[in-house]
Amino acid sequence: MTKINKISNNDLASKDENLKLSSRRDFFKKAASLSVGAAAAASVAPVTLSADDKAIMHHPKWGQSWGDPVTKNLYGVPSKFEHNNTRRYTKLLASGNYRASIAVTPIHESEGIITPNGLFFSRSHGGTAHIDPNEFRLMITGLVKKPIVLTLDQLKRYPSVTRTHFIECPANGGQEWRRPQYNSLQFAKGFMACAQWTGVYIKTILEDLGLDKKAQWMLAEGSDNSEMGRSVPIDKIMDDAMIVWGQNGEALRPEQGYPARLLLPGWEGNLCVKWLKRLDFAAEPWYAKEETSKYTALRPDGKAIQHFYANEVNSTVTHPSPEKPWDVKDLKDGDMIEIQGLAWSGMGTITTVDISLDGGKNYVEANIKGLVLPKCWTRWSYMHKYKKGEKLLLTSRALDDAGFIQPTVDQEVSVMGVESVYHRNAIETWEVNEKGEVNHVQIRS
Ligand SMILES: Nc1nc2c(c(=O)[nH]1)N[C@H]1C(S)=C(S)[C@@H](COP(=O)(O)O)O[C@H]1N2
Ligand SMILES: [Mo]
């Protein structure tokens, strides 16, 4: 027998203003009270367009007078109508004063595969540090032939590369196992974002400094209040580890570790140490606090998985989603409607995304949209023929070129149990009801 368990917002969500989830419906309500007036806002989602429709038949107000001077916004901001498209924070993983905290990316509003810098999820264990770039120093020490301390300018003198990769906290998706659970895409899967990063491969720096053969591990240490420290195996360092200072065409944001952070493409976010101050090379790992007390996964047999690195193949349906229901008033029998989502793998490149309309009993192949890059968000799409009154159980399932496929919830629980929140990549299901509303459910046998 298949069981469909509802995942619902608990008390926490209803008490906290910030947790009111952004949905298009919410958006139109709020937009109507803005200065442009109810008529223009309501016209965006009409049932049918008629010849006396004011929005198309009248010269709009904004065209009847001068627009703003270019001097108004020297650093551009989104349209005021997009005010609901923000990161959101949660008491989960937060200290009372929100210095140690997380703010999650509104992936239900994401377009394409790049997250704008202002929406990039932000997780810090000791608050956002603000570093004066003139005082930034990076010490590279331990088993290297030429230990060095670099200023930011000196670091940037190494030949740079630009690469597009996601960063995902390993706790992404883990909320299904620990309270609070959220009926939300942003809170269920928004512990991640994807950007175009510019920086230098660490192997390029090591060509210059000379690595001692005994070096098997690298410690990366942050200069922030949490002094985040993680040990990274040398193979990853010599493969694609980077120190990055550029994020989507500008300097890293303070929340992402300005002026420089470690980027380990595809590996768990916690390893990507921000506000970097030291790289130390040694023969053994350090067993720092974040790799012993945290970021290990307790299994049902009482043993914990340590040295857990790559984020496994994963996917999600972004359109529709709990925050992005279907406006079924505007849909007729036989209308085509696009189901869209993201797929990603920390182990390689996405090869296939399958979509199921019946909770995983039957799958068909979705189309991959746009750029397909390794260790990067991949956008997929499926054109669905809508049927009035239909109820769906929408599930996506991704495969990568390392040969992995997402497990079912049952398969995942049999190996991982329900104790650990880390590295959960089971398929996820949205129940779409006849009103077009979307609820997060979990399919168990
Ligand atoms: N120095 C330092 N680096 C850090 C952290 C931190 O608190 N301090 N948080 C880590 C965690 S747990 C994650 S998931 C990622 C989040 O990166 P982001 O804030 O750019 O999204 O940064 C990691 N690097
Ligand atoms: Mo994290």
Per-position pLDDT tens, the chain of length 445: 577 777 655 434 444 545 554 444 443 333 333 333 333 333 334 456 666 777 887 888 999 999 999 999 999 999 999 999 999 998 878 888 999 999 999 999 999 999 999 999 999 999 999 999 999 999 999 999 999 999 999 999 999 999 999 999 999 998 777 666 789 999 999 999 999 999 999 999 999 999 999 999 999 999 999 999 999 999 999 999 999 999 999 999 999 999 999 999 999 999 999 999 999 999 999 999 888 878 888 888 888 888 889 999 999 999 999 999 999 999 999 999 999 999 999 999 999 999 999 999 999 999 999 999 999 999 999 999 999 999 999 999 999 999 999 999 999 999 888 888 899 999 999 999 999 999 999 999 8
**Which numbered atom of ligand 1 lies nearest the CA of 100?**
7
Nearest CA to ligand 1 atom 19: 122
Helices (H) and strands (E) in the chain, counts: 9, 25
Task: Tell me which DSSP letter residue 117 carries.
Answer: G
Q: How far is the centre of ligand 1, averaged over its atoms, from the C-alpha of 272 (Å)? A: 6
Nearest CA to ligand 1 atom 18: 122
Task: Tell me which DSSP letter residue 224 carries.
Answer: S
CA distance linking residue 294 with residue 414, whole number of Å: 22
CA distance linking residue 314 with residue 360, whole number of Å: 15
pLDDT in tens, 43-84: 334 456 666 777 887 888 999 999 999 999 999 999 999 999
| Nearest ligand to the CA atom of 104 | 1
Per-residue pLDDT at 4: 77
- The total of other beta-carbon atoms located within 10 Å of residue 383's CB is 10
CATH among 3.20.20.450, 3.10.180.10, 3.90.420.10, 3.30.200.210 for 85-302: 3.90.420.10
| Residue 100 burial (C-beta neighbours within 10 Å; 0-12, 13-18, 19+) | middle
- In the three-class reduction of DSSP (H, G, I as helix; E, B as strand; rest coil), residue 409 is classed as helix
Task: Tell me which DSSP letter residue 125 carries.
Answer: S
Give ion ligand 2 contacts, CB < 5 A.
123, 169, 269-270
Report residues whose beta carbon is within 6 angstroms of any ligand 1 atom: 120-126, 167, 169, 222, 224, 226, 228, 255-256, 269-270, 272-275
Q: How far is the centre of ligand 2, averaged over its atoms, from the C-alpha of 375 (Å)? A: 17
Per-residue pLDDT at 28: 35
CA distance linking residue 77 with residue 60, whole number of Å: 22
CATH class of the domain whose range is 314-441: mainly beta
pTM attached to this predicted model: 0.91
Secondary structure (DSSP) of 361-416: SS-EEPEEES---TTS-EEEEEEEE--TT--EEEEEEEEETTS-BPPPHHHHHHHH
Per-residue pLDDT at 299: 83
Q: How far is the centre of ligand 2, averaged over its atoms, from the C-alpha of 191 (Å)? A: 8
Per-residue pLDDT at 292: 84
**Which numbered atom of ligand 1 lies nearest the CA of 224?**
1
- In the three-class reduction of DSSP (H, G, I as helix; E, B as strand; rest coil), residue 61 is classed as helix
Task: Tell me which DSSP letter residue 30 carries.
Answer: H
